[in-house]
Each structure stands twice: as C-alpha cells, then as structure tokens.
Structure 1
Amino acid sequence: MICSTTHRWNTCTGNSRAFADHALWIARHDASSAGTLRAGRPSWTFRQYDTGGTLPGDQNLFHGSLDRLKKLAGGA
C-alpha cells in the first residue's frame, strides 16, 4: 500500500505508472474529492479526509465493499 498526496506523488515520481497495482491511500484534507490521481490509477483505496472529527484520530474512508476490505486485509 502506498500513502501519499496526489501532489507529492506527481512531484516525486513524475506521475509514474510503476506502482499502479498497489493499493493507494490518499491524504487530502479540506477538499470534497481526492483530487487528480496518479497515472494508471482509476481510483483510491483509502482516503484520509481530515485529522480530526467525530471519531478519534484521522478521518478515513474506504472505497469499496466490506468484502473487498476483508480481502485486502487478508480475511475471508
């Protein structure tokens, strides 16, 4: 899994497609979307949208179903 901002990914890798098969955790606060994603990537896997909120700690979203999350975590 790769955790980055879209800006940092593009700046540091030149928008490389080398890791298109890795899960992507995007950090982007104070915005309604994750922003423009890296090359070869149609969507994000996780998105950190804030550092505080109604739950303790960072506020994150998973982009998918419960079954997909279980598979990613190595469960049944």
Structure 2
Amino acid sequence: MSQEISNLEQKILRFIFEDNHRASAIQKALSGQEQRYTRNDIVAALNSLEENDLVERYSSKSWIATGDAEDYIE
C-alpha cells in the first residue's frame, strides 16, 4: 500500500469490490447506526479513490473497484 485511505474510502472499496454500485446505493448501504454519510461525502471519497486509481466509473453513474483496490480491503 503506497497511500493512506480514509475509513470511509475503505468501506466503499469493500462494498464495490465485486459489483458496481451507484453513489446513492453506497450511501444507503454505509449509512448505519454509527455513522451517517451524505451523498457529497460518498462522491468526494469516490473521486479521491479514482484519482488514486482504486476505483473507476463503470457507467455514467456507477463505480467499481479496480484490481489495485484489493490491497486496501481487509
């Protein structure tokens, strides 16, 4: 792992590693009892992950993790 990623980014990678999802689905899945995320939080994290080549757009509104993301998933 060459770069540090946030807790939210790690949760997103786990969620989209095997299947693509829209930001709204990611938000609903990750917003639970302990933390509430906004769509802006999710999109900002996805953009950061994309800059680090850990996710890519699967379609105009959905995202999927790249093979490099496997190193960040616990």
TM interval, short-chain normalised: under 0.3
- Which has more radius of gyration? 1
Larger helix fraction of residues: 2
Q: Which has the higher contact order (CA 8 A, sep 6+)?
A: 2
TM-score (norm 2): 0.22
